[in-house]
A and B are shown apart, each in its own frame.
Chain A
Amino acid sequence: MNLLRAIGLTLLFLLATLSSSGAGEADLRGIIANFATAKGFSETGTVVHDLAATGDPAVEWPLAALADGNLYIRKADSLVFVGKEAGDSVELFDPLSGEKSADAAKDDITKIKVNNTLRRVIRDALGTLTLGAKDPAVRIAAADTMFKTPDAANIGPLDTAIASESVASVKALLEQARAASVLVSDRPDADKLAAIALIGARSDRNAVSMLTSVEANASGAVQEAATAAIANINSTLAFWDAGQNIWYGISLGSVLLLAAIGLAITFGVMGVINMAHGEMVMLGAYTTFVVQQVIRTSFPGLFDWSLVIALPLAFLVAALVGLAIERGVIRFLYGRPLETLLATWGVSLILQQAVRSIFGPTNQEVGNPSWMSGSFNVGQLAITWNRLWILVFALTVFAVLLYVMKRTPWGLQMRAVTANRRMAASMGIRTPWVDALTFALGSGIAGIAGVALSQIDNVSPNLGRGYIIDSFMVVVFGGVGNLWGTLVGAFSLGIVNKFLEPYAGAVLGKIVVLVLIILFIQKRPRGLFALKGRAVEA
């Protein structure tokens, strides 16, 4: 009997707790209805708090919709709906049951406005609600939010979550979030010291941020521990900062390499001062844009492949334009550098204005495929995917080009023409065609550089302008006519630039680099790796 009674009581108790934590649907509706009467962000924030306080998982959907700006009030009856825009009208759904209601015209409903502060309030509120979510990524986000917004009231829910957590990495984050909450609670100092040790082990900027506020508010042993932990983290971070500068330098170097590598062929190998080189990059970027437009309208599923599809097309477009320039203009001007410079400058203006007339003067949107978005951490080093892929891509292009130059018959002919044009002609090499194809190759490479650069820069008719000076700088610094020189030149300029930037600022940093190059060219006029040979000496 006793046992039965105990079970019955427990059941009753469970029922009671369930109904009190999961407030009745009517209650929730009552609170949600308050959105219609709330004026201003702070009152809407109060409603959010009330909703979150119910602890009912059902409020997650309407709150997330509010954060995304998808919660609407129907003007006719002041009812609150989750909306989904579909053309000119909005599909309305009940915020709790998700039941579809009649569509409404945009004029018949008002969107509940949100701003950053409100979005943060919602995020914090959702944090506690989503601790038990199925998706580990959501739990990580929740733990992260709770770490950044510590609250003594969070300790309880976090303890429950830690106890039931199975993924080790998520568990560690939850424990850190709990430690952060302990630090703002009135728990004994011993607990707080343990919490500081736990947070100190994170050794990232968020930990510093958290400990700095602890240091300011605490006293005695806790304060000392916080100070020590901050000093400890800062020395680790200083090490990572240096690593970060090197990575940024390599990344900038890869961009410089991409922009300059085509020029290393046209200017380095052929000796043509091609001021329209930047415009070839620009054409490549616009090809990417056109490819993405076609994919967006006709084959949306292929979007992640857009760059791969754009690569050969960009190469073709830029190579053909390059071929046309060589056949139409440059071949009449070999051996007259000044005229070549002026003529290609003119060509660059024509190309820019042509693109401006066709596509308009405004920037065009080139999207990042999902595999090029976001970043990942190596220790305390945040590495963005797009920069990493560009580095890989630049090195691949370099390797392929090196292979073409050193291992193919065409490369052999190119090098022969460079070394001694008349001798090569006497041996039966059709030098005019080698010239034309070499120029087309250089331009095509610039075109595929444009595909990569469209991911980090804006696609506008002026895109090429920004790269032409840097490209010449890299080629001249590395040594005219030497691909390895271009590689080393690009990376050393990138790294020097990025090491100077934090100390001297971007403007002064660039000036210092330019001055260094001028001094270097004074000392070694042929650049890092000077090409040796009779034709070059002549």
Chain B
Amino acid sequence: MRGNFSTITKMFSASVVAAGLLMSAPARAADDTIKVGILHSLSGTMAISETTLKDAMLMLIDEQNAKGGLLGKKLEAVVVDPASNWPLFAEKARELISKDKVAAVFGCWTSVSRKSVLPVFSELDNILFYPVQYEGEESERNVFYTGAAPNQQAIPAVDYLMSEDGGSVKRWVLEGTDYVYPRTTNKILEAYLKAKGVAAEDIMVNYTPFGFSDWQTEVSAIKKFGSAGKKTAVVSTVNGDANVPFYKELGNQGIKAEDIPVMAFSVGEEELAGLDTAPLVGHLAAWNYFESVDTPENKKFIADWHKFIKNDKRTTNDPMEAHYIGFNMWVKAVEKAGTTDPDKVIDAMIGVSVPNLTGGYSTMMPNHHITKPVLIGEIQADGQFETVSRTPGLVMGDEWSDYLPDSKDLISDWRAPLSCGNFNVATGKCGGKGTN
């Protein structure tokens, strides 16, 4: 009985989906606008970061419309608010795709929100552009990752600290917020550092809860760990709001960047805007974009942004550039495919190349990640970053880390005939599992 019932529900839902698809096809053709979904939290804890991305998307869509739209049609933004509530992300994604019939969705910030919408995107076959640096260990056909994979941020950052310019660091504190991105990134970094000959006692890993605000014990532990006669650095994957009290405590306890530098992966111009940066000069961040990068493209982008947001104090940041790249790639792919049909656009995306804001080109690779330069910047007294190191060429996003035992044999290639996001080269089968 039970089995029968579930078969019936399955058949029923399948027919609903089929009906939905049938209905959506003519609807899409008849519309005179192309709808683009924006799935960013406008309220709740993540609003601090995600609201800016919503505004950036609105600006990009405006600009494209001013240029004459896409395929002769105007673009129309559909904004929804998933309110920093992870299950609501999935609901809102479904609403965007099934009800509003959007051609593509730009959205999500946290990994958990991305994981929550993945099934929706593969079920309804639509496209998600994910603009934030993340832990890797994933490659989905319906998702394009325009943020950095660990090898486009974490590994070059550690390389810099190990170099002579970075201070030849020998001892490492991996400080993070307790959730999936820091845990996976730190696992990769630990394996990487050990492969580089760092002894286990020279690595200290510590996690704190979300929104942690009392950093006294942690900072004094860092001070203690750093007084072992070897050059020490902190690699911080501390997320969001917890950064401000962390940096304030560092400043107050007198930890100077010259003595123990902190390399952060989640601190950008936006986070620094809420801080007095004078005591933090010299602490570092690794990104693929800084507002201070001096290129004509970036100057124009910043000017456009200030005009659009009507506030010339608002900063730009790395995820905004990721949306800029992702959106332009999508526009190009739609033009190439001649349709907004997600299936065709997904295939057309691979190999598309657009200018980024740091004076080069970013290309969509077959693993749905993009090529980017990696920049290391030091915090300046004015709240901006000064680039102190830049990878000589572009770095290709590596979704399955080579430093984790579970994922080192996996590759991703969404081109036919392989069309697999987790192909295991050791066994020759599609369907490997990474570390999470």
B5 to chain A, nearest CB (A): 37
A344 to chain B, nearest CB (A): 18
B253 interface neighbour in A363, A382, A457, Cβ under 8 Å? A382
Contact with A along B55-92 (1 / 0, CB 8 A): 00000000000000000000000000000000000000
Task: List A115-152 residues whose CB lies under 8 Å from chain B.
Answer: 115-117, 119-120, 123, 148
- Interface: B343 (CB within 8 A): no
- Interface: B217 (CB within 8 A): yes
The answer on a CB contact under 8 Å between B273 and A363 is yes
B258 interface neighbour in A41, A119, A375, Cβ under 8 Å? A119
B158 to chain A, nearest CB (A): 15
- Given A116-B257, A374-B254, the answer on whether A498 and B217 have CB atoms closer than 8 Å is yes
B278 to chain A, nearest CB (A): 10
Task: List B179-229 residues whose CB lies under 8 Å from chain A.
Answer: 206-209, 211-214, 216-218, 220-221, 223-224, 227-229
- Interface: A19 (CB within 8 A): no
| Chain B residue at minimum C-beta to C-beta distance from A207 | B227
**Residues on A with beta carbons closer than 8 Å to the beta carbon of B227:** 205-206, 208-209
Of A261-269, A318-326, A505-513, the one touching chain B: A505-513
| Chain B residue at minimum C-beta to C-beta distance from A384 | B252
CA–CA, A251 and B218, complex, Å: 14
B27 to chain A, nearest CB (A): 34
**Residues on A with beta carbons closer than 8 Å to the beta carbon of B378:** 115-116
- Interface: B261 (CB within 8 A): yes
A385 to chain B, nearest CB (A): 8
B78 to chain A, nearest CB (A): 20
The count of chain A contact residues (Cβ–Cβ below 8 Å) is 62
- Interface: A34 (CB within 8 A): no
Say whether chain A's binding surface is mostly helix, strand, loop, or mixed. helix
The count of chain B contact residues (Cβ–Cβ below 8 Å) is 58
The answer on a CB contact under 8 Å between A462 and B253 is no
**Residues on B with beta carbons closer than 8 Å to the beta carbon of A255:** 214
**Residues on A with beta carbons closer than 8 Å to the beta carbon of B164:** 42, 117
- Given A209-B227, A209-B229, A356-B47, the answer on whether A382 and B254 have CB atoms closer than 8 Å is yes
B241 interface neighbour in A363, A498, A506, Cβ under 8 Å? A363
B295 to chain A, nearest CB (A): 14
CA–CA, A35 and B380, complex, Å: 21
**Residues on B with beta carbons closer than 8 Å to the beta carbon of A245:** 217
The answer on a CB contact under 8 Å between A375 and B252 is yes
The answer on a CB contact under 8 Å between B47 and A461 is yes
**Residues on B with beta carbons closer than 8 Å to the beta carbon of A209:** 227-229
| Chain A residue at minimum C-beta to C-beta distance from B217 | A501
The answer on a CB contact under 8 Å between B261 and A116 is yes
Of A22-30, A55-63, A364-372, A393-401, the one touching chain B: A364-372
- Given A123-B258, A206-B227, A368-B276, the answer on whether A458 and B166 have CB atoms closer than 8 Å is no
Contact with B along A193-222 (1 / 0, CB 8 A): 000000000000110111011001000000
A505 interface neighbour in B207, B273, B284, B381, Cβ under 8 Å? B207
A506 interface neighbour in B207, B252, B284, B380, Cβ under 8 Å? B207
Contact with B along A104-121 (1 / 0, CB 8 A): 000000000101110110
- Interface: A179 (CB within 8 A): no
- Interface: A346 (CB within 8 A): no
Contact with B along A346-374 (1 / 0, CB 8 A): 00010011001000111111011000011
CA–CA, A42 and B164, complex, Å: 9
Given A116-B257, A119-B282, A501-B217, 18 further pairs, Cβ under 8 A: A40-B165, A116-B282, A117-B164, A209-B228, A244-B220, A248-B214, A248-B217, A255-B214, A349-B43, A368-B248, A374-B252, A384-B252, A385-B252, A460-B274, A462-B45, A466-B241, A502-B217, A506-B217
Show the binding face of B for A, using Cβ within 8 Å. 42-45, 47-48, 51-52, 164-167, 178, 206-209, 211-214, 216-218, 220-221, 223-224, 227-229, 241, 244-245, 248-249, 251-254, 257-259, 261, 270-271, 273-276, 279, 282, 284, 378, 380-381, 386, 388
